[in-house]
Amino acid sequence: MQPLINLKTKLQFLKVIWLLPCIGILIFLRIQLLETSVYQSGDRTITGTVIDIIESQEKTTFVMKAKEKIQVSDYEKHPVKLGDQVQVTGTLKEPENTRVFHTFQYANYLKSKRIMWLCTAKEVTVVKENTSWFYAFKHQLRSYLKKQNHYPYLFAFILGDTSYLEEEKDRFQTLGISHLFAISGTQVSIIAIILTNILNKPCSKKLSFFFVSLFLIFYMILTGLSPSIMRATFMYILLPIVPISAPTLLVILAVLLLCYNPFYLYHLGFVFSFVISFYLLLFQAEINKRKQYLGKLFQISLIAFFASIPILLYHFHELNIMTLFYNILFVPYVTFLLFPATILCFIFPVLNPVLTFIIQFFHLLMDIATQFSCVISFPHVPLFFYGLECLFVFLFLKSYYQKKCISILLICLFFCFHSFYMELFGKSSITMIDVGQGDSILIQLSHNKGAILIDTGGITSFGKEQQPFLVETRILPYLKSLGIKKLDYLVLSHGDYDHMGEAKELIRKIPVKQIVMNSGMDNELEKTIQIQAKKKKIPIIKMSRGILSLDHIKFYFLNSKNSQNENQDSLICYTKIEDRNILLLGDASKEEEQQLFYEYQLPKMDILKIGHHGSNTSTSNILLEKLNPTFALISVGTNNLYHHPSQEVIQALSENHIKTFQTKDVGSIKIELYSMRVTSFLP
């Protein structure tokens, strides 16, 4: 009998395996279909319906549905309402990712919302005012919420819109409680239970289930079809009807949603919601064994915490060990106090003082919890490692409930191995980080023995200084992905904003042992950074010519000038790592290049960072002939106003047969120094 059972199990398994490639092909074809657009970039006039609005002090951002969804940035703040048919004249462009390895990719996130285009509006005209009762209701609801004292929390808990909680998101992420502010199964369950209890008295169970289901579908559409709300709603409706187990239904639902929009894989709400729910359903029996509420809560927090680890490590490269205990504190506080109080204040605004006290106490708890955070860094590793970690999380939980201590210990050792991966296998490398029209170059020594960042960039789009954008979205996430917890040196070549504009924010976010600046005249930006450095007690080394040492590597600074011109004062750095000669020219001009040959006998270069973004004021033919570099790197912004790099420089590089990489073409560029293997963000 047993062999027959085993054979039946194997046949069922083979059926599932056969379906996987079919699902994969279907999703692949769906991706190709979604990435085919009817629009082209450039100046366009497009008519569509406004389906979502986010207001800020700087601009109004709205999503309009035309032939495709378009996200419009309106700096003039034209008066538009949900459901209005508008005609927008502006510049249409495809969303861009950060083009830095292992960082959050904004374009992919927008695709998960089916937004394929961005438009900067020059003119917005309302062609036809809204006539839809649904959009009228949603507009009135949003207007009502915006008038309330604590509207950011009302938007989060009622409409699932966390855009107004931007100031708090960093703390939520650090504490690992961001999931509490995305409407999910818990909130939907509470709403369903309340409505069911109200309707059960006048209606039969079937009728009340029908009405609750209708309300949840309406609520799902009202909140913009958030993946977590769709999961909770469909599970509530289908689970009593469909004769399959909850985990199986959840998997089928995930596959169907991915077939509808494969880019949900880039939506963290989708990934967290389905993965954590799957683990909770798998270990439902273990949760139910606990009779006391605190016992159940601890088990739910334990399972959710470990289920989320591979996702957190892949996306954020760090883990707060205290999150497990924070959830025990904050889950009941938010679920049974803050969330209900917000709903009550929505209905009875007179209760605002009560909500104020609850939110203030919540902030106090977060302040205290932040003091006890224990954050561990985990560098980016090959993809199969994360697959192994998903398997090990499952084995860990099985071993935990079966009380197999040896298995738990071995799995914990694997995660320790991940944490120290760069110390064990890290190779010396140089990375030109894509910061747009600016410079930022990271040198990391083998086995994580040291890290130097030369410049920080500072301008993300011409005419607007966006603070703090580059540090938060590019530089800091990339440093974390390499397991870099501190910088040994932050070298600021000169005082131009596009080289050191983000330095103040950077030293606020990550420990820096020493800052190196040129010894020329200080401008206002340099003075501001020096004041910030003193507050953080970071020593500042002023030099034009000198030597820095890190581990066994020496960094030679070769500029002997002190002038009032920032570019002429730019620090020029030469170093030799893994027998590879590297010269970084900052914004040096041809005059400074010529001075190098008078004063130094420089060897053939393996890597040359071209001066001043490839401007025709730099990179003389003599420089290229004498140094004869293998690789030339140019940090330059796409469609920059200066038209860098100049055609003259590109032609000279080509004539000298030098392999050239530009960030505007390929994004960030990383070179492993021992093997000289080049990796660019865009292969």
Segment among 113-122, 210-219, 561-570 with least mean pLDDT? 561-570
Contact 615, 644 (CB under 8 A): yes
Among residues 47, 76, 71, which one has the least CA distance to residue 61? 71
The CA-atom distances, in angstroms, between 516 and each of 216, 326, 415, 593 are 58, 40, 36, 21
Residue 566 scores a pLDDT above 80:
no
Question: Tokens at residue 203, please?
Answer: 């209606």
Question: Tokens at residue 335, please?
Answer: 């679920």
How do beta strands 677-680 and 441-444 pair? unpaired
Residue 414 counted as domain residue: no
**367 plus 445 within the same structural domain:** no
Residues 291-331: tens digit of each pLDDT = 887 788 788 888 888 888 899 899 989 888 888 888 888 88
CATH number at residue 103: 2.40.50.140
Query: 7: buried, middle or exposed (CB in 10 Å: 19+, 13-18, 0-12)?
Result: exposed
pLDDT of residue 148: 85
Confidence of residue 361 (pLDDT cuts 50, 70, 90): very high
**126 plus 161 within the same structural domain:** no
Confidence of residue 519 (pLDDT cuts 50, 70, 90): confident
How do beta strands 487-492 and 512-517 pair? parallel
Element (H, E) at 516: strand 512-517
pLDDT of residue 440: 95
**228 plus 341 within the same structural domain:** yes
CATH number at residue 446: 3.60.15.10
**256 plus 344 within the same structural domain:** yes
Residue 416 counted as domain residue: no
Q: What is the mean pLDDT of the chain?
A: 86
**452 plus 581 within the same structural domain:** yes
Q: Determine the 3-state secondary structure of 71 from DSSP.
A: strand
Partners of 487 in the β-ladder: 512
Structure pTM? 0.87
- Provide the residue range defining the domain that includes 366: 151-378
Mean pLDDT across the stretch 154-169? 81
* Cα 459 versus chain centre, distance: 19
**647 plus 533 within the same structural domain:** yes
Among the ranges 56-65, 178-187, 384-393, 429-438, which has the highest mean pLDDT value? 429-438
**99 plus 197 within the same structural domain:** no
Contact 141, 336 (CB under 8 A): no
Partners of 584 in the β-ladder: 573, 609
Residue 31 counted as domain residue: no
Contact 432, 441 (CB under 8 A): yes
Which residue carries 């929390």 as its tokens? 153
Q: What is the DSSP letter of 646?
A: P
Per cent of the chain over pLDDT 90 is: 33
Q: pLDDT higher for 206 or 483? A: 483
pLDDT of residue 23: 62
Confidence of residue 561 (pLDDT cuts 50, 70, 90): low
Question: Tokens at residue 121, please?
Answer: 């509006």
Structural domains in the chain (count): 3
Residue 12 counted as domain residue: no
Residue 368 scores a pLDDT above 60:
yes
Residue 400 counted as domain residue: no
Query: 86: buried, middle or exposed (CB in 10 Å: 19+, 13-18, 0-12)?
Result: buried
pLDDT of residue 464: 43
Residue 532 counted as domain residue: yes
Alpha-carbon span 540 to 392, nearest angstrom: 46
Residue 613 counted as domain residue: yes
Q: pLDDT higher for 672 or 286? A: 672
**436 plus 534 within the same structural domain:** yes
The CA-atom distances, in angstroms, between 219 and each of 72, 229, 232 are 25, 9, 12
Confidence of residue 20 (pLDDT cuts 50, 70, 90): low
Q: What is the DSSP letter of 180?
A: G
Which residue carries 């209905």 as its tokens? 347
Alpha-carbon span 529 to 594, nearest angstrom: 31
**168 plus 84 within the same structural domain:** no
Residue 252 counted as domain residue: yes
pLDDT of residue 563: 67
**67 plus 163 within the same structural domain:** no
Among 130, 160, 184, the domain boundary falls at: 130
Residues 523-556: tens digit of each pLDDT = 899 999 999 999 999 999 998 888 999 989 999 9
End-to-end C-alpha distance for the chain, whole angstroms: 56
Confidence of residue 5 (pLDDT cuts 50, 70, 90): very low
Among residues 103, 680, 98, which one has the least CA distance to residue 432? 680
pLDDT of residue 680: 94
**174 plus 299 within the same structural domain:** yes
Which residue carries 């107004």 as its tokens? 164
Residues 332-342: tens digit of each pLDDT = 888 888 888 88
**118 plus 168 within the same structural domain:** no
